[in-house]
Amino acid sequence: MKGRDTTTNLRVAAIGSVPGEIVLDGMGVSRGIAIGTVYLHDAGSISVPERRIPAANLEAERARFADAAERATRQVAVLQEKAQDLGGAAGEELGYLLDAYQQMLHGSRLMRGVAQRIESERINAEAAVQQEINEIVRGFEAMEDAYLAARVADIKDIGRRLLRALTNTPYRPFSALPKAAVIITEELTPADTALLNPAQVAGLATVLGGAESHTAIMARSLGLPSVLGVAGLLTKGIRGGEPAIVDGAKGVVIINPAPATLKTYRRHRADFLRSRRVLARLKDVPAVTTDGARILLQANIELPTEIDHVLASGAEGVGLLRSEFLFMNREDLPSEDEQFEVLKELVTRMDGRTVTVRTFDAGGDKLAPALGCSLGPNPSLGLRAIRLGLARPELLQAQLSAIVRASAFGPIRILIPMVATVEEMRATREMLGDVVRRLKKKGVAMSDPLPALGAMIEIPGAALAADALAWHVDFFSIGTNDLTQYTLAIDRADEAVAHLYNPLHPAVLRLIQFSAEAAMRARIPVCVCGEVAGDPRFTALLLGLGIRDLSMSANNIPVVKQRIRNLDLVAATRRARVIMDQSDSARIAQLLDGFNAGEA
C-alpha cells in the first residue's frame, strides 16, 4: 500500500502487487474494523429551479410552503416515534436531535427567512428554501468551533426534507442491504444513521462529514466503524457488491482488498474485539499507576444524552460539559429556569460524581441570531466566551444562577472559557457573589460550600500568567486544543496548515508545564481536557508533568486507564524532565514514543 497520492487522498498499491486494491484516507470517527460488502447509497438529488411568482400568487406560494413545512413536521414526528422504539444511547441522541428539528420547522430563522424571500424577492418556495439554507450554511461553515460548524449537516437535512415535500420527491430509504453491508455514500443524515441496524450494517464511509457531526455521534452510539470525509470515495468507479474494509480507528477505507490485506485486517479485527472485551472489564477498576499514584479520569460531553455512555465507561465525573447545546437550533435564549432543569437532571443522574459546567463559549459568528451579535472580522479572536459574558452580564448571570441552583442536587463546578486576565476572573467572581446573595434572599437551596470557580487555560497569555491567575480561581482546566492552535497560529480546519498542528511543539508543552506548576504551587487542582488527554500516547508525559486529572471522550477512558495501570509514575516523571529539555518536536516525539514502547 505504497505510493500515497497526497493530492487526491488515494493510495494504490504498486502495479502487479495487489491489482485492483484501492486505499482511501478519511477521518476515523468511530473505532472498530468493518469487513463486508459495498452498498452504494444514493439519496437522490433534488432539482431546484427558480421561478418568478406574480404578486397575485404570493399568498398561494406562502401557503404551499406552510403545507410543506407541516408535512416535514409529520415526517419528523414519525421518526421521533421510531427513536423511542430504538431506545438506548442512540435513541436518546436521535430524540434530542429530532426535537431540535421540530424547533427549526416552527418559527425559526430558517422559516422566517424563507417566508421573507418569497415575499420580498417574489420567488418560488423551493428557491427560497435553497437560498436561505445556503446562507445559513455559509455562516456555520465559517465557525472556528468544530462542534458548532458540524451542525451544517442538521441544517441541510431540514432543507432536504422541505424540498422533498415541496417537489413531492419520494425519499429513497435503504433497501436490499447485503449481509455485513458497508454503506458508501456522499453524506448520511443523523436520522438515517441512527435507524441503521448494526446486525445488518458492518460500517460506513462518506465523502462529507466530520468527527463532531451528529452522524459521527450516532455511529459511535451504535458501535458502527465509520470513516467520514473520504475524498475520492465516489469518483473511483466503486461498485456495489465489491468487498470492502472500513478501519474506523485509522480512518482508512479499502476497496477490493487483496487476500493478504484481508487476512491482516481479520486478525486486526479479532485483536480489536478481544481488546475491547478486556477494556470493558476495567470499568470499575481505579486508574492507579504501578507505583500507586491515583489518577482521576473524567468525561467530556456535548449533549445530555451522552450520560448513559459516560456512566458505562467508568468515568468518575464530567470534566467538561460544553453548555452551548442549550443555545443551539433556536432563535431565543434559554431561560434561567430551562438551564436549571437541564443541569439538575444531569447532576442527579451523575449520582454524586462531579459535573464541571463550562459557561457558554459562544458569540460573534456562532450564535448571532439569538445573541444579537454582529460578525467580527475574526470571530475566534473577537467577542466570545467570557468576554461576551461580561459584556452581556444578563446572559452570564442567568447561567451562573442556574448552576448554583443545580448545586443543591449534587457536586457541580463552574468553568470559565477563554480567560486571558486576572481582571476577568475577578469580575466573574464578583458576579457570582451577587448571584448567590440574590438567591439566598429568595431562600433558594444551594450547596455549601458553593460551586468551585475555575479558569480554562487555552490562551497562551493565560498560561504565561498562570501564577497570578491561580490565586483567583479554585481550579485550572487546560484546553490543549485551542492552546495549541493559538500558540502555533494554526487553524486546524484549514487543510493548508492543519498538518502543522502539533501538541508536542516545545512551546505548547512549556505552556502546559507552566500552568500545571502554577496550580501545584497554589495548591489547586488542574485538569487537562483537550484531545491529548484521551490519547494514551500522551498519558505518560502529562502525568510526568504533574497532571493527575484527565477529561476526555468517554470512548477513550478504558484505553487511557489501561495505559495508566501499566505506567510507573517515577519513570514517567524522569522521562518528562528529559523531554522538557528538548527544543525539537521530532526528538520529543522520539523520546515519548520510545518510552511508551518500553525504553528505559
- Give yes or no for a contact between 272 and 33, defined as CB atoms under 8 angstroms apart: yes
Any idea what DSSP says for residue 294?
B
Question: If you write DSSP's letter for every residue of 217-276 in order, what string do you get?
Answer: HHHHHHT--EEE--TTTTSS---TT-EEEEETTTTEEEES--HHHHHHHHHHHHHHHHHH
To the query of whether residue 214 is one of the catalytic residues in this protein, the response is yes
Distance, CA of 444 to chain centre = 34
Question: If you write DSSP's letter for every residue of 169-213 in order, what string do you get?
Answer: PPP----SPPTTEEEEES---HHHHHT--TTTEEEEEESS--TTS
Residue 30: phi, psi to the nearest 5? -145, 115
d(CA 338, CA 359): 15
- Give yes or no for a contact between 343 and 406, defined as CB atoms under 8 angstroms apart: yes
Residue 145: phi, psi to the nearest 5? -80, 120
- Give yes or no for a contact between 96 and 304, defined as CB atoms under 8 angstroms apart: yes
d(CA 151, CA 173): 22
Q: Side by side, which strands form the sheet with 27-30?
A: 4-5, 10-12, 22-25, 252-255, 243-247, 33-40, 181-185, 201-206, 226-228, 27-30
Residue 200: how many CB atoms within 10 A of its CB? 14
Query: CA torsion, points 52, 58, 62, 65, in degrees to nearest 10?
Result: -30
To the query of whether residue 529 is one of the catalytic residues in this protein, the response is yes
d(CA 401, CA 391): 17
Beta bridge partners, 38, equal: 182
- Give yes or no for a contact between 52 and 122, defined as CB atoms under 8 angstroms apart: yes
Tell me the pairing of strands 549-553 and 181-185: unpaired
Annotated catalytic residue within 309, 373, 505, 529: 529
Closest CA to 343 of 223, 222, 464, 447: 447
In 116-143, which positions are buried (b, 16+ CB within 10 angstroms) versus exposed (e)?
ebbbeebbbbbbbbbbbbeebbebbeeb
Annotated catalytic residue within 41, 214, 472, 505: 214
d(CA 80, CA 531): 33
Any idea what DSSP says for residue 326?
G
User: What are the catalytic residues?
Assistant: 214, 529
